[in-house]
Amino acid sequence: MFRRKLQALDYPTTDGYQPDDESKFRELIVWLEDQKIRHYVVEQRTALRQTTSPTWRQALNKYLQDLELGGMVDTSTNSEISDVLLGMGIRYDYCDNVEKFSKASSDLVKAEQRQAPKIVAANPLDKLDFSSPDFISGVNTLADQLKVAKHANHLVTLEACAALVKTRYSKEAQKSGLHKQKTGNPFPFQEVDQSFDCGDYVLNHAAKILRLLFICDIRDLQTKINECIVAVQTVTANPKTDTRLGKVGF
Amino acid sequence: MVVRSYNDELQYLEKLSENSWRIKKGFQPNMNVEGIFYVNKQLEKLMFDELRNACRPGAVGGFLPGMKQIANVAALPGIVGRSVGLPDVHSGYGFAIGNMAAFDYDDPLSVVSPGGVGFDINCGVRLLRTNLFAKDVIPVKEELAQSLFDHIPVGVGSKGIIPMTAKDLEEALEMGMDWSLREGYIWAEDKEHCEEYGRMLQADPSKVSSRAKKRGLPQLGTLGAGNHYAEIQVVSEIYDVWAARKMGIEEKGQVCVMIHSGSRGFGHQVATDALLAMEKAMKRDNIETNDRQLACARIKSQEGQDYLKAMAAAANFAWVNRSSMTFLSRQAFSKQFNMSPDDLDMHVIYDVSHNIAKIEQHIVDGKQKTLLVHRKGSTRAFPPHHPLIPVDYQLTGQPVLIGGTMGTCSYVLTGTEQGMQETFGSTCHGAGRALSRAKSRRNLDFKDVLSKLQQQGISIRVASPKLVMEEAPESYKNVTDVVDTCHAAGISKKCIQLKPIAVIKG
């Protein structure tokens, strides 16, 4: 009974409410006063909250009188009291959010349901104006803070920042220990690597850096291969020696 | 063979530069391409003396002089570019040791020759670094030498101490260093820093005779005899600081371990079996060579393909062999210093093969070609940015490990672009013999050789001391001459020099 009303009020157990079940009935009354009607201040609710007390019915009658419902309900019928008080709770709820509920027409609900999936997918970043001066200065500030060199195209700078954050500062990177700056020996590739000459210093420089990035990728791949081998080794490895088989030392 | 006087022979030789000589067509019959050899003043004298001795009337028997052998190889069908003699070249079976020759893989007449690989298939050198310095090691070098000797089985007929069944051997032949990895004898980084990543994929153990397998099984994980050794070395000179750093060598005095070994009796049997099969194939296919020892078969023939598959299995054997000794060396160091090999930073710097034939891509006359490159006593030396070298060495070029002779020094070189163009990315492999084994035995006394090493402060442990004079520095060319010639000719670049403080030999 009263499933819809209970649902509307977000009552914890909406199914199977039986007003004739005295304990459930008393729980509901206390809950309604505590959460929705709030006619009493907290101290005044004590008598009503003692749901196992033999004098609870008197407290209820007093409560109904205080709500000025004394003559209007049959105080001996639980279902009637439940109905009236639930209705009251709903009214208060409505009054608290008139605007929100008054808009709720069936058309609107339908429209909302149609829009719902779109809202989930909508990326708040889509609404950003990527070419606004604000955005550009934001990217530049970010780049300054991360010490990332700026590119003429601020979107490229942003990509570089993203790559850095991903490899150094993201949770995954922190977990895997990648965030630690790799230490190694510097290598004067500009002087040592004479393997090609495009005839232009800047072009040479760029091509050599490109090649370094490639080497970096390959190193990463090789490290993963090694990790894979080590993982398999933990299962298969069982090195043994037996000096009785051969003769060592003389 | 054409009989000419020494002066007539000289007509066919032309000095190209300070460090190289050209062998013109006609020096030996039917030469398809010219020959070239790299020398400096001292090595030049040795080469020409050898030729002069061979031209003396009545000189018979023994191997042909190195120059003649280079020219005979130039007469083999399908050879491209030039037949290259490296500074450590000396006479060997068929091909000279220190000779590289490339054959066009797509030419149906091209040949593969077991003599161009050698009997010790995938004989090679591996270098391990440590984070120890001479001052840590010299006080305990005797103990350390003994410890290495107690871990690594050495000597003629020695047997391995890593338990192997016939099934294990089959798998090892197919998988190479992947087998050692699977069984947990080595580290993943070892594979990364090894030529071919320690595994030739075309290996087929079913092409290997059961005789070879029987010989190989007990020998896996042994150093062997002859010129093979394990040495504890100290970095004595750094020529290229940047490249050395990439290899994890920071300063002079850093301690390394060098292992020089091959495929033992297994490779020898594979080569012997192939030579027999190829003699028949030569008759069938009418292949003519200048020298009986240059037995060969068309690459595409059954015999040729079978040999390449068996050779690859032998190469895998050698890598597993060196890997097993790496494992044992790490154990020896770990026990001596009471630290784990990891904490001692005992990483493999690189592992090279100097007796092998490989299928590679090269640019010949401006065109990309697939070649079968024979390197006998010659080390691959690929330049920076070559796709087949490990990522760590992309900027420096491939490390080339040159094992010296007992008691002298060893070198690490790096590959160069010039070497790629002139010698198909090949360079020298070691000192190269100057005296034959028999001659060394006659002329030297093993006690003198050992006491001389003692005086130099080198701890030595030898399984068969009476053969040690065969390996005495006097029996070899000077490795520094050899390396300096390669550096001066530009076919590889000097990086590090290492001096031994302890030697373990068969």
B230 among annotated binding-site residues:
yes
What is the model's pLDDT at position A44?
85
Q: Confirm if B148 and B199 have CB atoms less than 8 A apart.
A: no
Q: Which two tokens stand for residue A216?
A: 């970096």
| A66 band by pLDDT with thresholds 50, 70 and 90 | confident
pLDDT tens-digit map of A140-181 = 899 998 888 888 888 899 999 998 888 888 877 777 665 566
Q: Rounded to a whole number, what is the distance in Å from the CA of A235 to chain B's nearest CA?
A: 9
What pLDDT was estimated at residue B1?
52
Q: Is B362 exposed, middle or buried (0-12, 13-18, 19+ CB in 10 A)?
A: middle
Neighbours of A13 (CB within 10 A): 11
pLDDT higher than threshold 90 for residue A6: no
Q: For residue A62, how many other CB atoms are within 10 A of its CB?
A: 14
Q: Which of B188, B222, B246 sits opposite A246 (nearest CB)?
A: B222
**Whether B395 and A229 lie within 8 Å, measured CB to CB:** no
pLDDT tens digits for range A186-236: 777 777 776 677 788 888 888 888 998 999 999 999 999 999 999 999 999
Instruction: Please report the pLDDT score of residue A115 as a whole number.
Output: 67
Q: Which of B185, B392, B417 sits opposite A239 (nearest CB)?
A: B185
The residues facing B298 across adjacent strands are B111
pLDDT at B56: 80
B258 is in an annotated binding site: no
Q: What is the pLDDT of residues B341-359, one digit of tens each?
A: 999 999 999 999 999 999 9
The pLDDT tens digits of the residues spanning B10-33 come to 999 999 999 999 999 999 999 999
Residue A244 lies in a domain: no
Q: Is B69 in contact with B99 (CB distance < 8 Å)?
A: yes
Q: Answer yes or no: is B165 a known binding residue.
A: no
Strand partners, B463: none
Chain B residue with minimum CA distance to A189: B395
Q: Output the CA–CA distances (angstroms, integers) from residue B33 to B29, B110, B115, in the order listed.
A: 11, 13, 19
Q: For residue B463, name the pLDDT band (cuts at 50, 70, 90).
A: confident
Give residue A60's pLDDT.
86
Q: Count of CB atoms within 10 A of residue B264's CB?
A: 28
Q: Is B260 annotated as a binding residue?
A: yes
Mean pLDDT for B495-506 is 93
Residue B60 has pLDDT above 70, yes or no: no
B61 is in an annotated binding site: no
Q: Are residues A153 and A55 in the same domain?
A: no
- Residue A247 scores a pLDDT above 80: no
- The pair of structure tokens assigned to B240 is 């290229």
Average pLDDT value over all residues in chain B: 93
| Structure confidence at residue A177 (pLDDT) | 64
pLDDT-derived band at A183 (thresholds 50, 70, 90) equals low
Whether pLDDT at A16 is above 80 = no
Coil, helix or strand for B374?
strand
Residue B379: pLDDT over 80? yes
So which residues of B are the catalytic ones? 429
Residue A129 lies in a domain: yes
What pLDDT shows up at residue A249? 56
For residues A90-105, average pLDDT:
81
Cβ(B263)–Cβ(B123) below 8 Å: yes
Domain count for chain A: 3
Residue B182 forms contact with A (CB below 8 Å): yes
> What is the per-residue pLDDT across A105-139, written as a single tens digit (0 to 9) for each?
777 777 777 766 555 556 777 777 788 888 888 89
Please write the tens of the pLDDT for every residue from B32-53. 999 999 999 999 999 999 999 8
**Strands B492-505 and B459-462, sheet pairing:** parallel
Please check the confidence at residue B428 and state whether its pLDDT lies above 90.
yes
Find chain B residues with C-beta within 8 A of A231's C-beta.
none
Banded model confidence at residue A62, pLDDT cuts 50, 70, 90: confident
Note the CATH number of domain B123-505: 3.90.1860.10
* Partner-chain residue, chosen from A193, A215, A245, that has the shortest CB–CB distance to B160: A245
Q: State the pLDDT confidence band at B4, using cuts at 50, 70 and 90.
A: confident
Q: Are the C-beta atoms of B116 and B101 separated by less than 8 Å?
A: yes
Question: Is the ipTM, as predicted for this complex, more than 0.90?
Answer: no
C-alpha distance across the termini of chain B, in Å:
38
| Res B236: pLDDT | 96
- Residue B252 above 60 pLDDT? yes
Q: Is A239 among the domain residues?
A: no
Q: Name beta bridge partners: B499.
A: B234
CB B317 within 8 A of CB B220: yes
Q: Count the helix, strand and coil residues of chain A and give each as a percent rounded to the nearest 5.
A: 65, 0, 35
Does the residue A95 lie in any domain? yes
Q: Which of A237-246, B98-107, B196-205 has the lowest mean pLDDT?
A: A237-246
Contacts of B150 in chain A (CB under 8 A): 248-249
Q: Using 50, 70 and 90 to split pLDDT, how confident is the model at B386? A: very high
Extents of the domains making up chain B: 123-505
Q: Is the pLDDT of residue B82 over 90?
A: yes
- Tell me which H or E stretch contains A139: helix A133-146
Q: Do A195 and B383 touch (CB under 8 A)?
A: yes
Is residue A245 included in any domain, yes or no? no
Contacts of B185 in chain A (CB under 8 A): 239
Q: Decide if A240 and B162 are in contact by the 8 Å CB cutoff.
A: yes
The domain of A36 spans 3-118
A250 part of a folded domain: no
- pLDDT tier, A59 (very low <50, low <70, confident <90, very high otherwise): confident
Q: Tell me what pLDDT residue A246 has.
A: 66
Determine what percent of chain B falls in helix, strand and coil, rounding each to the nearest 5.
40, 25, 35
Nearest to A167 by CA among A187, A188, A148: A148
A157 shares its domain with A191: no
Quick one: closest CA in B to A234, which residue? B184
Q: Contacts from B470-473 at CB under 8 Å and sequence distance 24+?
A: B470/B226, B470/B437, B470/B440, B470/B441, B471/B226, B471/B227, B471/B405, B471/B406, B471/B440, B471/B505, B472/B405, B472/B406, B472/B407, B472/B440, B472/B444, B473/B405, B473/B406, B473/B407, B473/B408, B473/B431
| Residue of B283 and A185 predicted with greater confidence | B283
DSSP B247-274: TT--STTEEEEEEEE--HHHHHHHHHHH
Establish if A249 belongs to a structural domain: no
At residue B299, the pLDDT reads 96
Q: Which residue among A180, A202, A225 closes a domain? A: A180
Sheet holding B355-364, edge to edge: B13-17, B20-23, B35-38, B79-90, B97-104, B367-376, B355-364
- Measured CA angle at B119 (ends B114, B122), to 5 deg: 90
What is the tens place of the pLDDT at every residue in B160-195? Answer: 888 889 999 999 999 999 999 999 999 999 999 999
Chosen domain end from A180, A197, A221: A180
- Please report how many Cα atoms fall inside a 13 Å half-sphere around the Cα of residue B287, on the Cβ side: 29
In a shared domain, residues A87 and A192: no
Query: Rounded distance, CA A15 to CA A83, Å?
Result: 15
Alpha carbon of A145: minimum distance to chain B alpha carbons (Å) = 32
> End-to-end alpha-carbon separation of chain A, Å?
98
Cβ atoms A24, A84 nearer than 8 A: no
Residues of B in contact with A239 (CB under 8 A): 162, 183-185, 327
pLDDT (0 to 100) of residue B97: 95
Same domain, A133 and A175: yes
The Cα–Cα gap between B184 and B171 comes to 14
Task: Please judge whether B395 and A236 are an interchain contact, meaning their C-beta atoms are less than 8 angstroms apart.
Answer: no
Least confident of A21-25, B90-94, B392-396: A21-25
Let me know whether A18 and A105 are in one domain. Answer: yes
Q: Is the pLDDT of residue A31 over 80?
A: yes
Query: What share of chain B has pLDDT > 70, as a percent?
Result: 98
Whether residue A148 is found in the same domain as residue A215:
no
CA distances from B2 to B28, B29, B240 (A): 7, 8, 47
Q: Give me the count of residues in chain B.
A: 506
**Quick one: average pLDDT of B288-298?**
94
* Distance from the B136 Cα atom to the nearest Cα atom in chain A, whole angstroms: 24
